[in-house]
Amino acid sequence: MSDPILVIRDLHASVDGKPILRGVDLDIPKGEVHAIMGPNGSGKSTLASVLMGHPSYEVTEGTIKFKGQEVIGMAPDERARLGMFLAFQYPTEIPGVPLSAFLRSAVNSVREEDISPREFIQQLRTDLELVGLDQSFGRRNLNEGFSGGEKKRAEILQLALLKPELAILDETDSGLDIDGVRIVAEAVNRLKSPEIGFCIITHYTRILNFTSPDVVHILLGGRVVKSGGRELADHLEEVGYDAVKKEFGYTSDEAEVEEAPQS
């Protein structure tokens, strides 16, 4: 097997001086789908933001190597040009910017040479279909008046057009109805290739019913406490997060990142 495209070691990160990530270790090889599951407040979105270099989060310890290069200290756009992509849990609206114009500048920002208008339009047409959005969406303003499901589809559309080597989806499935979850999952299945690694961050197991993860990681208290196969997600579904918290020494109502468990 090839070396993992993403290698995270002992990653600690804080927001406003408050430690959130407390020693994350994670490897994601190309060609694999990894799921990161955890209860609310366990640090999932923080991990995604830290991976993309969000300025509100301070890395206090550890390393994030992408394609062998340390990315801590790199600006978000530099990470994107290297091949990292993040779909946000809460996509923002940009009034006055048509989706197609936004996507074209996003595509050009990660390429050496600008894509030709013709090639872009063809790609856009194919990928709109892939994510189940009507062709008219290209002319609509980015996320303005989009339903929750349409916003998430627009994120996947961006992913399809950018062709990153690592795609991080932060709860792209939450807020979607069952058809929306299936469309996102099917798009992931179609985009899956030996050239891309997926990191699907999710609270629920339902997206995993449509796209089978190779590895499931449980994030608790800002650490990956357990990794396994698909059966780990099924186990979670069966016993719930409270049981897993107890197993790792957290009281069930404790805010996940407030206190380290007693050992």
Ligand X SMILES: Nc1ncnc2c1ncn2[C@@H]1O[C@H](COP(=O)(O)OP(=O)(O)O)[C@@H](O)[C@H]1O
Positions in the binding site for Mg ion (CB under 5 A): 44-45, 89
Establish if 42 lies at the interface with ligand X (CB under 6 A).
Answer: yes
Stretch that binds ligand X, among 1-9, 37-45, 94-102, 145-153 (CB under 6 A): 37-45
Q: What string marks each residue from 224 to 263 as x (binds ligand X by CB under 6 A) or -?
A: -------------------------------x-x------
Q: How far apart are CA 216 and CA 34, in angstroms?
A: 6
Across the beta sheet with 84-87, what order do the strands follow? 84-87, 166-170, 197-202, 33-37, 215-220, 223-228
Candidates 12-20, 113-121, 134-142, 143-151; binding stretch for ligand X (CB under 6 A): 12-20
Assign residue 53 a region: left if phi > 0, alpha if psi is -120 to 50, beta otherwise?
Answer: left
Q: Does 46 bind ligand X (CB under 6 A)?
A: yes
Q: Are strands 215-220 and 57-66 parallel, antiparallel or unpaired?
A: unpaired
Distances (CA, A) of 208 to 140, 161, 179, 188, 199: 31, 23, 14, 11, 12
Told to check if 14 binds ligand X by CB under 6 A, we report: no
94 belongs to the binding site for ligand X (CB under 6 A): no
Which residues does residue 12 pair with via DSSP β-bridges, in sequence order?
A: 22, 61
Contact flags string 143-182 toward ligand X, x per CB under 6 A: ----------------------------------------
Residues that bind ligand X (CB under 6 A): 15-16, 20, 38, 40-46, 56, 255, 257
